[in-house]
Copies of this chain bind each other. A is one copy, B any other.
Amino acid sequence: MSLPRIAVDAMGGDEGVRVMVEGAALARRQHDKFSFLLMGDSARIERALEAHPGLAGAAEIRHCDGLISGDEKPSQALRRAKGTSMGEAVAAVKRGEAGAAVSAGNTGALMAISKVALRTLPGIDRPALAALLPTLEEQDVIMLDLGANTECDARNLVQFAIMGAAYSRIVTGRPRPRVRLLNIGTEDIKGTDAVQEAAQHLRAAKTLAIDFDGFVEADKINRGDVDVVVTDGFSGNIALKAIEGSARFVTDLLKTAFRSSLRSKIGFLVSRPATELLRHHLDPNNHNGAVFLGLNGVVVKSHGSANAKGVANAVTVAARLLEEDLTARIGEDLGELGDSLMANGHRASAAGAASKVESEAK
Q: Which residues of A contact B (CB under 8 A)?
A: 73, 136, 147, 150-151, 182, 184, 189-192, 217-222, 231, 233-235, 237-254, 257-258, 260-261, 263-264, 266-275, 277-278, 281-282
Query: Can you spell out 12 A-B residue pairs with CB atoms less than 8 angstroms apart?
Result: A136-B252, A150-B192, A184-B241, A218-B237, A218-B238, A219-B241, A221-B242, A222-B249, A238-B239, A242-B246, A243-B245, A260-B274
Q: Which residues of chain B are within 8 angstroms of A221 by Cβ–Cβ distance?
A: 242, 245
Write the chain B residue with the least CB distance to A259: B274
Instruction: Write the nearest CB–CB distance from A4 to chain B, whole angstroms.
Output: 35
Given contacts A271-B258, A272-B267, contact A247 B249 (CB under 8 A): yes
Instruction: Write the nearest CB–CB distance from A7 to chain B, whole angstroms.
Output: 27
Write the chain B residue with the least CB distance to A190: B150
The docked-state distance in angstroms from the alpha carbon of A314 to that of B245 is 26
Given contacts A184-B147, A263-B270, contact A247 B245 (CB under 8 A): no
Write the chain B residue with the least CB distance to A248: B219
The docked-state distance in angstroms from the alpha carbon of A251 to that of B246 is 11
Q: Which residues of chain B are within 8 angstroms of A254 by Cβ–Cβ distance?
A: 254, 274-275, 278
Check A238–B249 contact: CB distance below 8 A: no
